[in-house]
Amino acid sequence: MSEARARRVGIMGGTFDPIHYGHLVAAEEAREAFRLDKIIFVPAGTPPHKVERQVTPARHRYLMTLLAIMGNPGFEASRVDLDRGRVTYTVDTLQDLRKGLPDTDMYFITGADAILEILSWKAPKEVLSLAEFIAVTRPGYGLDQLATALGPLYEPFQDRIHILEMPPMGISSTDLRRRLAEGRSIRYLLPEAVATYIQREGLYGTNDQGHLP
Ligand code: NAP
pLDDT tens readout for residues 189-206? 999 999 999 999 999 988
Residue 119 beta carbon below 6 angstroms from any ligand 1 atom: no
Taking the model in full, what pTM does it have?
Answer: 0.93
AA identity, residue 76:
E
**Residues ≥6 apart with Cβ < 8 Å to 109:** 10, 11, 12, 13, 26, 27, 30, 39, 133, 134, 136, 164
pLDDT at 185: 94
Calpha distance 27→30 (Å, rounded): 5
Ligand 1: residue whose CA is nearest its atom 42? 121
Q: Ligand 1 centre and the CA of 4: distance in Å?
A: 33
Q: Ligand 1 centre and the CA of 27: distance in Å?
A: 13
- Whether 211 shows a pLDDT value over 80: the answer reads no
Report how many helices (DSSP H) and strands (DSSP E) the chain contains, helices first: 10, 6
pLDDT at 1: 52
pLDDT at 60: 96
pLDDT band at 127 (very low <50, low <70, confident <90, very high): very high
pLDDT band at 52 (very low <50, low <70, confident <90, very high): low
Residue 137 beta carbon below 6 angstroms from any ligand 1 atom: no
AA identity, residue 176:
L
Calpha distance 211→213 (Å, rounded): 6
Residue-wise pLDDT for 158-173, tens only, equals 999 999 999 888 899 9
pLDDT at 63: 98
